[in-house]
Structure 1
Amino acid sequence: MRQSLFVSILHDIQQVNEYFIQTRDATGAPGLSGVQKMTAAFQILQYGMPANAVDEHIRIGESTAIAALNFFTRSIVATYEVVYLRSPNEVDVARLLQEGEQRGFLGMLGSLDCMHWHWDKCPTAQAGAHTGHYHKPTIVLKAVASYDLWIWHAFFGMPGSLNDITVLDRSPLFTELTRGHAHTANYTINNNVYTIGYYLVDGINPVGQRL
């Protein structure tokens, strides 16, 4: 992660959670900094490190690392949910359809792909269920991204032994569509009128290849 992005995220979450603002104790000694707390949370999330493993180089105890992780995830949701952690609204859908049309794909809402994340410390009892064509335990992340890499849908946690169709069947991506509440996408291809958008997948998925 670039330093500028790290600092920007830290500044944003400090606006919603004072936990990440450095304070001083009764003797005037400085407490843990926001950089330490956020770094501990990042390392636990990114590398799957146990909470007591960040003490040696970050100088933060196990209980504090767990607290930092909990506060960090909640602060991220509180800070970015309205802008990033949401489904597209009518304005977003109109923009996505317009961008797709400019690129020759009428009715395209985004690129859909499944990615496998290696589960390095997968318990032996669960290894079989999570081992598929990668021949090692993995967990599947399914995401939808737009042309500018806005990931507006993510579904994580399915065992790596499942194929893409099975993962898609279990995800909530089409929940609103099955309830009749999906946004309308009106377009015509080969004199056929369509009212439901679609996603590019697999070999014709340029964004998925970049991810």
Structure 2
Amino acid sequence: MVYESRRSKRHQEDDEIDDDLDHIMVFMLGEYRKRKSEDERKKRRGSVFGHEVYDRSRGEHDLKLFNDYFAEHPTYPEKYFRQRFRMSRPLFMRIAEAVKQHDHYFAQKRNAVGALGFSCLQKVTAAFRQLAYGVPADYVDEYLRIGESTSIESLRKFVRAVCEVFGPEYLRPPYESDTARLLAIGEQCGFPGMIGEAPTVNYTINGHNYDKGYYLADGIYPNWSTFVKTIKAPANLKDKNYSAAQESQRKDVERAFGVLQARFAIVRGPARFWDKATLTDIMNSCIIMHNMIIEDERDKCRLEAPYDKGDAETRGWISHEGTSNFSSFVDKHKEIRDPHIHNQLQRDLVEHLWERQGQRTRPQ
């Protein structure tokens, strides 16, 4: 009797444990289904229960934005537009229209209840303010009435669209006309053959012929024939004149990135996104728009170099010639690393600059 009683009690305890496990499983399954339905609801971007909606008067502020900057007689003239948008109004409208045609996200649409959504100008302006000022996404809410999540989405889609639409043109290799303009500018500054890329060039300095371009560099670079470095401790007037000219022109190149940072503050600040794809798009889009601004303002600022642009220069930038063989590659590699050519080119430039610019520094 005692044994049977203990056995019955043990079975009863096992049944209670099984019931508890069943209850736990049912509870966990219910929680899983609940969370799954919430995730699906978030993906559908439908109404969220308990979400409070604020009337931001987006239409009123869209009209205010238009009257402030884009009307026929705007509140703020072109000077203020250029200061706040980093570019001219026609260029901004060109970019906005191209982005709108490329991505339907920037077209103004009506929501499920028939209310108009944000306009293309609001979304693009929100992206521009973040790029130009490096401000957080919710900073533009007060003026544009765009929430933080929409501002972030607008920025992501804007920089992606800019890269896809304008990248092939403004991130391309230089045309021959571009190379000719850079060579002309370098020659005017006393450095014939100075380049930003590496096309085939031929020039003569101080009676010596050279067939490779070169880069202005500082002391950390090796003594190669394609690098022209400054003289650390110039001991005479010729060397001092050369060092001053070399450092001055090199700083012009270094300032180019400084101008990019000043124009788009998001570049110089800490990263505001975690994924590399968005960071890459932000950097590339800023470079693209920087190049577009330079192209748009070059004639206005009279930065165009005096050279003729022929059809052959603008169309023949792709080479269809056969590649060199391996032995030719090795020979060119040795020439580039030749320290003798490096030293000879430096001394020739010293003499060239002295003859071109150093006359006024010679003692009478």
TM-score scaled to structure 2, two decimals? 0.34
SS in 1 for 2:201: coil
Q: Which of the two has greater strand per residue?
A: 1
Q: CA RMSD in A?
A: 2.9
Match of 2:169 among 76, 79, 83: 83
SS in 1 for 2:212: coil
> In 1, distance between residues paired with 2:108 and 2:212?
50
Q: Which of the two has greater helix per residue?
A: 2
- Of all paired residues, the percent bearing the same amino acid is 48
> In 1, distance between residues paired with 2:132 and 2:181?
32
Corresponding residue number in structure 2 for 1:31: 117
> In 2, distance between residues paired with 1:199 and 1:35?
42
Match of 1:46 among 132, 144, 148: 132
- Cα deviations by residue, 1:118-167 (Å, 9 ceiling, x for unpaired): xxxxxxxxxxxxxxxxxxxxxxxxxxxxxxxxxxxxxxxxxxxxxxxxxx
Distance 1:105 1:15, change over 3 A: farther
> In 2, distance between residues paired with 1:50 and 1:24?
27
Counterpart check, 1:190 vs 2:203: no
Task: Please say if residues 97 and 185 of structure 1, whose CA atoms lie closer than 8 Å, have aligned partners that are also in contact.
Answer: no
| Number of residue pairs aligned between Structure 1 and Structure 2 | 141
Rg larger for: 2
Which amino acid letter does the alignment assign opposite residue 208 of structure 2?
N
Corresponding residue number in structure 2 for 1:60: 146
SS in 1 for 2:169: coil
> In 2, distance between residues paired with 1:98 and 1:47?
35
Corresponding residue number in structure 2 for 1:73: 159
SS in 2 for 1:109: coil
Corresponding residue number in structure 2 for 1:6: 92
Distance 1:46 1:198, change over 3 A: same
Residue 72 (structure 1) shift: 0.9
Which amino acid letter does the alignment assign opposite residue 192 of structure 1?
H
Residue 73 (structure 1) shift: 0.8
Which amino acid letter does the alignment assign opposite residue 195 of structure 1?
D
Residue 33 (structure 1) shift: 0.8
Which amino acid letter does the alignment assign opposite residue 187 of structure 1?
Y
Counterpart check, 1:19 vs 2:105: yes
SS in 2 for 1:188: strand
> In 2, distance between residues paired with 1:15 and 1:202?
45
Distance 1:81 1:50, change over 3 A: same
Question: Is there any run of 5+ residues in structure 2 with no aligned partner, and where?
Answer: 1-81, 83-87, 217-245, 260-364
- Cα deviations by residue, 1:20-49 (Å, 9 ceiling, x for unpaired): 221222333211011111111111112121
Corresponding residue number in structure 1 for 2:325: none
Which amino acid letter does the alignment assign opposite residue 191 of structure 1?
G
Question: Is there any run of 5+ residues in structure 1 with no aligned partner, and where?
Answer: 111-172, 174-181
Distance 1:202 1:83, change over 3 A: farther
> In 1, distance between residues paired with 2:249 and 2:94?
34
Corresponding residue number in structure 2 for 1:203: 248
- Cα deviations by residue, 1:42-89 (Å, 9 ceiling, x for unpaired): 111121211122212111111111111111111111122122123324
Distance 1:202 1:8, change over 3 A: farther
